[in-house]
A = this chain, B = another copy of it.
Amino acid sequence: MKARTSDLSCKAMSPHRSRRRIPDATVARLPIYLQLLIEQLENEVANISSDELAALAAVNAAKVRKDLSYMGSYGTRGVGYDVEYLVYQIRRELGLDHEWSVVIVGAGHLGQALSGYGGFSERGYSIEGVFDIDDKKIDVAVGGVRVRHLDELPQVVAQRSVSIGVIATPASAAQDAADRLVKSGVTSILNFAPVVVNVPFGISVRRVDLSVELQIISYHEQRRLTAAAQLRAVNGDGSINATA
């Protein structure tokens, strides 16, 4: 279940943090904007218009403006947005103005890929530990982090005040990993295993299934192929005009 705070309480809350509930769709785009804006900053671009940012992110300009407006009005009419300030605001809104401690469960290929993934440390995520239940993988260093036994998880989570856990295990071990993470005190989980894990109320889980993404692609590819085939058929006998 999505833990969504009511609109009522939001309005009563501090206008500085989370002045309004930001739509999920916008939250999903903010990281994209952030990344593009940081790139602009590196190219010493101090100012950017919604049109330019929209082109970079391949979305509608009005959408960009509306998205940014949820964080308050930081643009200057006739000029655009100050890139540095925008970066600051988005970081703050996403909670990237301080470091997040993360643990990874599963030291297989995916766990290794994740622990070595530069995008995490760049964004302020600190990998506090990689854990596995397989003795053969213990003590091997992956991505600069030594792999520890899963039994040490509660200790590390408590000591480093870890709030985010990543599940990078096979499907069969995912539920156990989730249980251990929750028991240790983690409150948010990113699940890469292709199963639905059950967690107590109040714990949020976000699932990313690599094969699901591939299946969505093949659905569209499938349609493309059949559409082309039907088009050829239509051109052949000239009976039906399929597309409007």
Contacts and interface: CB of A to CB of B under 8 A. Distances in A.
Copies in the complex: 2
Contacts of A163: 221
A154 interface: no
Interface in A187-242: 187-188, 190, 194-196, 204, 206, 208-227, 230, 240-242
Contacts of A35: 194-195
B36 A216 contact: no
Contacts of A18: 223, 226-227
A5 interface: yes
A95 B227 CA distance: 13
Nearest to A32: B212
Given A12-B240, A109-B109, A120-B211, A95 B218 contact: yes
A184 to B, nearest CB: 15
A236 to B, nearest CB: 14
Interface of A: 1, 3-6, 9, 12-18, 22, 27-28, 30-32, 34-36, 56-58, 93-96, 100, 102, 108-110, 112-114, 116-120, 122-123, 125, 143, 163-164, 166, 170, 187-188, 190, 194-196, 204, 206, 208-227, 230, 240-244
Given A5-B243, A28-B212, A94-B215, 13 more contacts: A1-B244, A13-B240, A14-B241, A17-B226, A30-B219, A32-B196, A108-B113, A109-B113, A117-B210, A117-B211, A118-B170, A188-B220, A206-B213
